[in-house]
Amino acid sequence: MNKRSLIQAAAALLVAATISPVLAQDKALKVGVTAGPHAQIFEQVKRIAEKDGLKIQIVEFSDYVQPNAALATGDLDANSYQHKPYLDQQIKDRGYRLANVGYTVNFPIGLYSKKVKHLEDLKEGAKFGIPNDPTNGGRVLLVLQDKGLIKLRPEAGLKATPLDVIDNPKKLKFVELDAAQLPRSLDDLDASAVNTNYALSAGLQPNRDAIAQESAKSPYVNLIAVREQDKDKPWVAKLVKAYQSDEIRRFIQTQFKGAVIAGF
């Protein structure tokens, strides 16, 4: 290669190095969320992030399975909809190389019924709906244990299933359903646990309609997930900063009035 060619090549590399960050910023980040509070909050995050030069495209999902699958395959850049026990279980079961980069909100899960006003009013043999994914199903069983309705094997931990119930005085019959279906199960079952995002989407107000709620102090704080290869990239820090801002904290407090709690 002659001297002129070397100069041209060096100039081309310099131009590429100069414009590539700009091009990267011009491409909107795709962030997966579930409909309801996660989507509402991220609309505000999007507005704040844009002030820091970060463009975001929000992609809504109607279930808990697809956002991680889409993130793992590169169809999303990040997602915001799940708690750490669920992410850990997905990584274990599916081999995803995903990372938690920042905590977001907590949704104390509620127990609902159209048949009774109080948990203790449930009759013997009552049908009780719980999420069919291991982490959220176990979460509900722990709530029921905390409320004194059942007793679980001590070693079951966060992944308890109905098979781990060792004492069930009311002989509750657990009906495992997809979390998104649980609000609609209230007509057919005696009671159901409903994740707060799905409760709000169905017009249920946890502080008003739940017959019991999980303690706000739990290991189920939600998070932002990205692929492991991306976790140290500058845009990730900007995204987390926008979410964990005082403005978002105030929005959560005002918009959800205690049904959703900031976890950062």
Q: Are residues 116 and 190 in the same domain?
A: yes
pLDDT of residue 134: 84
Residues 66 and 138 in one domain: no
User: Would you state the structure tokens that stand for residue 199, as one six-digit string?
Assistant: 């409760």
Same domain as 204, residue 117: yes
The per-residue pLDDT for 25 is 53
Among the listed residues 37, 94, 11, the one whose alpha carbon sits nearest the alpha carbon of residue 258: 37
The whole-number pLDDT of residue 259 equals 87
- pLDDT attached to residue 7: 43
What does the H/E/C string look like for the chain? Answer: CCHHHHHHHHHHHHHHHHHHHHHHHHCCEEEEEECCHHHHHHHHHHHHHHCCCCCEEEEEECCCCHHHHHHHCCCCCEEEEEEHHHHHHHHHHHCCCEEEEEEEEECCCEEECCCCCCHHHCCCCCEEEEECCHHHHHHHHHHHHHCCCCEECHHHHHHCCHHHEEECCCCCEEEEECHHHHHHHHHCCCEEEECHHHHHHCCCCHHHHCCEECCCCCCCEEEEEEEHHHCCCHHHHHHHHHHCCHHHHHHHHHHHCCCCEECC
CATH number, domain containing residue 165: 3.40.190.10
Residues 254 and 127 in one domain: no
What does the pLDDT profile of the chain (264 residues) look like in tens digits? Answer: 554 544 444 444 444 444 333 334 568 999 999 999 999 999 999 999 999 999 999 999 999 999 999 999 999 999 999 999 999 999 999 999 999 999 999 988 999 999 999 999 999 999 999 999 888 999 999 999 999 999 999 999 888 999 999 999 999 999 999 999 999 999 999 999 999 989 998 999 998 999 999 987 788 899 999 999 999 999 999 999 999 999 999 999 999 988 899 999
- What are 20's two structure tokens? 């590539």
Residue 258: what pLDDT? 86
Residue 206 is part of which domain span?
A: 110-213
Same domain, 53 and 85: yes
Q: 95 and 171 in one domain? A: no
Same domain, 79 and 141: no
Is residue 7 located within the same domain as residue 103? yes
Nearest by Cα to 223 from 98, 32, 80: 80
Domain limit, last residue, from 213, 238, 254 = 213
Number of domains the chain contains:
2
Q: Please check whether residues 89 and 123 belong to one and the same domain.
A: no
* pTM reported for the whole predicted model: 0.75
Residues 95 and 182 in one domain: no
Shared-domain flag, residues 93 and 160 = no
Looking at residue 26, its pLDDT comes to 66
Q: Is the same domain home to 101 and 27?
A: yes
